[in-house]
A and B are shown apart, each in its own frame.
Chain A
């Protein structure tokens, strides 16, 4: 028994050695070249957030190609070093420490989503790196890092700003709505949005008649919608993810929900495939968005970018139009690139200072960051779906179907209230 387990140990020891060497070799095998500027990040290319992650990557690659066509940054070509974090937070620390310590990237940007951004924060904070981030709700509220920059246009107080527009619109209507039902998926972003909605509603003296959450794996939303119906709310605020958003809209239609305003924070209603499938069921819904093809949002460069994206996205199994995340994925790299050129280098302190004080011009318009790295002024749009025809994807490529009704400077139409269902 002794000798057998002894030689087993020997075998195991050798195996251990081989495996550690394999790991080390992988690290050193990626030898570094001096010339290109390397930007490193992890991205969700598989798992739950992969649809958005892949779209973001396509947009980022377009930026890289655009910059390299013009001669690169500081005269040097730009290269990406990225790895798939599979929407698993546990993978993120290893990926970022590899990017920084082994691949020796010059600049880092974040992955997509709070779950994937947060694990990287301690690492970038320790190395005092500028960290442009892609769509995480109020991550910096916890860390209070002064080199964090969030491209999502939520605003200086993200959790409240998220739904403020929705409720402000409600208050302007006559007769003034009295009651609100709040329902959210049991997951990070939705709960934060719902909590903000709750505070907004209380602050505006609305009576909250329903305030519950549901597990993300719910199949049928009919019971939930009926329970909401039973409380007879004037306003229904929903914070949901794509499959739930579809389920809620369909169930609301089947049950004949008689609210005066419906929507709020439903992720998924911005995605082409879902818009096409829901069709006229969307009419009247007021929901958040970041960019829609309305005349008031025709920023310089955005149409050209979207054309390039839509070409590149063909056959990749991602959203064909790319209105939601891709323009912002392009914009935050624009900001990084412009800052590198302006400060003529990659000194992280100088970059951070420049990014804090400058108003940037990007494909999503003018961007200015506040002290906490969020947008100084919120640009959460509230859009209302109008005149949506059944089974027609092309109608969403242009204006008129998602009318911007808030904030005032980007308005392209008036709210229809109560929304008829």
Chain B
């Protein structure tokens, strides 16, 4: 049942899906990959972003992506505040990884329940003109419902990457991940820098959330499905590497898509995470990580 056009379509679908995964994972790539903050609640923030997109889309008819971008600064501020609490409680006292993990577990539940209390548990969806249209390139069909999130994800990734490598604050973020003391000696306040970085990470969650609800229906516990995927993507790509994260996300999307098309979708998670295990066994620093 193997045919070239099926293969081409599967790979294309995988790339589009992978791009979306990258949008969800980029916040974790910053928080976890560079700052070593085990933010297991990141998918929950993404879901919160989806709900905001839903509300403004349902009430005012605004395009979900537009909403995501508009709301990003609010999420940024929230991220900054949460980081302050996290820093005061854990980083200052040197308790991070395990306690931070438990802290974010708790945050995940709190976010989920608040969403349930406010919005209820019915599935939420958005409508936009481009959902449902397909572009046909030869025998490859590209649904806009997947293409738009892919495009936004690419823009987001490129934007974050350029920001981190070109601006002062961005470079400071990369620096604080590598050598905090040196950064202090250079006159920058590492706590401020990390606060900014974490805010940035949560801001990306707002945008990722709007993409998620374009692709499919959302209800508060949907975030749990993404926990494994996002951590796998960040680790697979290499901690601290944004391009690595993007490549890893594409890889995951393509593998899932190929397995779903040719083998049987029920094996997709095993294959995807099997690939991760293999990578960890052979090259623990990930694809692009500093070994």
Q: Quick check: do A and B touch in the complex, using CB within 8 A?
A: yes
- B-contacting residues of A (Cβ < 8 Å)? 46-48, 50-51, 54, 186, 212-215, 217-220, 222-224, 226-227, 230-231, 242-243, 246-247, 250-251, 253-256, 268, 271, 273-274, 277, 281, 316-319, 391
B124 within 8 Å of A by Cβ? yes
Check B217–A226 contact: CB distance below 8 A. no
Q: Specify which chain B residues have a CB less than 8 angstroms from the CB of A224 in the assembled complex.
A: 260-261, 265
Q: Count chain B residues whose beta carbon lies closer than 8 angstroms to a beta carbon of A.
A: 46
Q: Is B123 an interface residue (CB 8 A)?
A: yes
Shortest beta-carbon distance from B285 to chain A in Å: 28
Q: Taking CB as reference atom, which chain A residue is nearest B131? A: A250
Residues of B within 8 A of A (CB): 1, 3, 6, 9-10, 13-14, 16-17, 20, 113, 116, 119-127, 131-134, 141, 143, 145-146, 215-217, 219, 221-222, 225, 257-258, 260-262, 264-266, 268-269
Which residues on the B side are within 8 Å of A231 (C-beta)? 1
Given contacts A215-B268, A215-B269, 11 further A-B contacts (CB under 8 A): A50-B121, A54-B120, A215-B265, A222-B13, A223-B10, A223-B260, A224-B261, A243-B222, A254-B134, A256-B134, A273-B125
Interface pairs (14), CB distance under 8 Å: A46-B121, A50-B121, A51-B219, A214-B266, A218-B265, A218-B268, A219-B20, A223-B258, A226-B9, A226-B261, A227-B262, A242-B123, A256-B134, A318-B122
A227 and B125 contact, Cβ closer than 8 Å, known pairs A51-B219, A217-B225, A242-B217: no
User: Taking A51-B219, A273-B124, A317-B119 as contacts, is the C-beta distance between A250 and B10 under 8 angstroms?
Assistant: no
Partner of B264, one of A51, A213, A247, A316: A213
The 7 closest A-B pairs by CB, nearest first: A317-B120, A214-B265, A254-B143, A217-B225, A277-B125, A50-B121, A223-B261
Determine the chain B residues whose CB is within 8 A of the CB of A277 once the complex forms.
125-127, 217
* Inter-chain CB contacts under 8 Å: number: 127
Enumerate chain B residues within 8 angstroms of A271, measured Cβ to Cβ.
Answer: 122-123
- Interface of B (DSSP majority class): helix
Contact status B266-A274, CB under 8 Å: no
A220 near B134 (CB under 8 angstroms)? no
- By a CB distance below 8 angstroms, the chain A residues around B133 are 254
The CB with the most chain A CB atoms within 10 A, among B122, B146, B265, is that of B122
User: Least Cβ distance of A104 to chain B in Å?
Assistant: 31
CB distance from A91 to the nearest CB of B (A): 16
Alpha-carbon gap, A317 to B122, bound state (A): 6
